Amino acid sequence: MLATIGVEPPFELPGALQRARVALVHDWLITWRGGEKVLAAMAELFPRAPIFTLFHDPKDMPASLESHRIVTSVLDRLPGARTRHRQLLPLMPGAIRLLDVGEVDLVVSSSHCVAKAIRVPKGAKHVSYVHAPLRYMWDRFDDYFGPGKASLPVRLAARALRPGLRAWDVFTSAGVDRYVTNSAHVARQVAERYHRTARVIHPPVELERFTASSLEGTGEGGYFLCLGALAPYKRIDLAIEAFKRSGRELWIAGSGQSGQWLDDLPPNVKALGQVSDDQLPALYRNARALVFPGVEDFGITPLEAQACGRPVIAFAEGGALETVTGKTGVFFREQTVDSLLTALAEFDAFEAGFEPGDAREQAQGFSKASFQRALIDELSAALVP
């Protein structure tokens, strides 16, 4: 069980929000990652609000979330559902619509899959914080269901279901009163697919936990770090091949469905497996840089690295363009091994002039307090008659 984030509202809520009956909705509570950290920051504002979700595995959830009443869908009762939940994607639209949030005034959904489609009682308002529009059926489809990413029957089924699921995603978007997104990158997707305007409120970084041991020098461990779920779009395979060619030391922390990337690693690449939350700050602090080769909707790890005073080597697309600056990292422009190798060569000169204090300062602009204040403003606006 992780440490409690807090069970009392950190701010004096406006009167309308204090009086409102609030329900929180999240796709699933199975792993403790960036989306769940956003939910935890939301839940901290409403300690008595129930949380509605498709699946729930309490073993990796923080006490702050477990203190809420958590209501799960019918899918959570299926044998093995929590370990193969993505295979149940065709059933998720029906399952989320079956969840009954009861008599509430405000529904706040945290959605990257189907949570935004929750049924809302008549007269209630719905604010949806979108991490990505139905990720598996839009821009991430080939990452999950392309050649070599899934079995042939699964790929054929996904391709057959894709048009219907995308149409359903667009249709249910009308049930949201106000949209909030985690990045300008996702706000553009919401505008393109749902024809709706979204306010950008960047996710918070845990500044009190991810701290710099000093604001001088380079990572004492001498290694570069890749960290996160081994999902196809993370492109850890790209980093492995680039470091294999360069001979530099790379550490990889994380696990997931693309674990085959870790088979037959070269001697200079080390797989750490899933690491505990307690180990993360030191891993960041001792790294020369975080390597971030995927396209993320936002991506919290570059901010965690910068909060620890470490720079980032990132692919120049997606959320990284909103969190990393020319002072705090190096970008590569093409998602290829050669382009990443060029960035690694450029990093040596960059590192000589890098100031850890610049990275820490950049991360401080993404505090939990800033996130919660902006969210309160948006929720308050939704309740105005």
Same domain, yes or no: 156 and 234: no
Q: Regarding beta strands 22-26 and 106-111, do their DSSP bridges make them parallel or antiparallel, or are they unpaired?
A: parallel
- What was the pLDDT predicted at 148? 66
- pLDDT tens for residues 125-141? 999 999 999 877 777 76
Range of the domain at 346: 223-364
Give the whole-angstrom CA distance, residue 98 versus residue 213.
Answer: 49
Same domain, yes or no: 233 and 183: no
Residue 8 forms part of a structural domain? no
- What was the pLDDT predicted at 218? 55
Same domain, yes or no: 40 and 175: yes
Give the whole-angstrom CA distance, residue 210 versus residue 304.
Answer: 6
Is pLDDT above 70 for 216?
A: no
- What was the pLDDT predicted at 217? 54
User: With b meaning 16 or more CB within 10 Å and e meaning fewer, what string describes 216-241?
Assistant: eebbeeebbbbbbbbbbbbbbbbbbb
Across 90-99, 201-210, 254-263, least confident range: 254-263
Is pLDDT above 60 for 314?
A: yes
Same domain, yes or no: 358 and 379: no
Which of 298, 339, 310 shows the shortest CA–CA distance to 225?
310
- What was the pLDDT predicted at 367? 94
The pLDDT confidence band at residue 243, using thresholds 50, 70 and 90, is very high
Residue 3 forms part of a structural domain? no
- What was the pLDDT predicted at 149? 64
Residue 213 forms part of a structural domain? no
- What was the pLDDT predicted at 207? 93
Same domain, yes or no: 247 and 163: no
- What was the pLDDT predicted at 255? 79
Q: Regarding beta strands 22-26 and 51-53, do their DSSP bridges make them parallel or antiparallel, or are they unpaired?
A: parallel
Is pLDDT above 80 for 152?
A: no
- What was the pLDDT predicted at 226? 95
- What was the pLDDT predicted at 3? 33
- What was the pLDDT predicted at 85? 83
Which of 347, 358, 313 shows the shortest CA–CA distance to 333?
313
Same domain, yes or no: 314 and 374: no
Same domain, yes or no: 354 and 373: no
Residue 2 forms part of a structural domain? no
Task: Name the residue with higher pLDDT: 152 or 55.
Answer: 55
Same domain, yes or no: 61 and 80: yes
Looking up residue 252, the CATH number of its domain turns out to be 3.40.50.2000
Same domain, yes or no: 325 and 373: no
Same domain, yes or no: 183 and 323: no
Average pLDDT, the chain: 90
Same domain, yes or no: 85 and 196: yes
Q: From its phi and psi, is residue 275 left (phi > 0), alpha (psi between -120 and 50) or beta?
A: beta
Residue 258 forms part of a structural domain? yes
- What was the pLDDT predicted at 1? 30
Q: Inter-axis angle of helices 337-353 and 236-246, to 10 degrees?
A: 70
- What was the pLDDT predicted at 282? 92
Average pLDDT of the segment spanning 294-298: 90
Q: How far apart are the first and last CA of the chain?
A: 41
Across 98-112, 184-198, 213-227, 341-355, least confident range: 213-227
Same domain, yes or no: 199 and 80: yes
**CB distance 290 to 221 below 8 Å:** no
Give the whole-angstrom CA distance, residue 365 versus residue 324.
Answer: 12
- pLDDT tens for residues 3-36? 333 345 577 898 899 999 999 999 999 988 889 9
Give the whole-angstrom CA distance, residue 255 versus residue 242.
Answer: 20
Cβ neighbours of residue 297 closer than 8 Å, sequence gap 6 or more: 112, 131, 132, 135, 182, 183, 185, 186, 318, 319
- pLDDT tens for residues 79-89? 988 888 877 88
Which of 311, 314, 317 shows the shortest CA–CA distance to 348?
311
**CB distance 344 to 313 below 8 Å:** yes
Neighbour count for residue 32 (Cβ, 10 Å):
17
Residue 108 forms part of a structural domain? yes
- What was the pLDDT predicted at 4? 34
The total of structural domains in the chain comes to 2
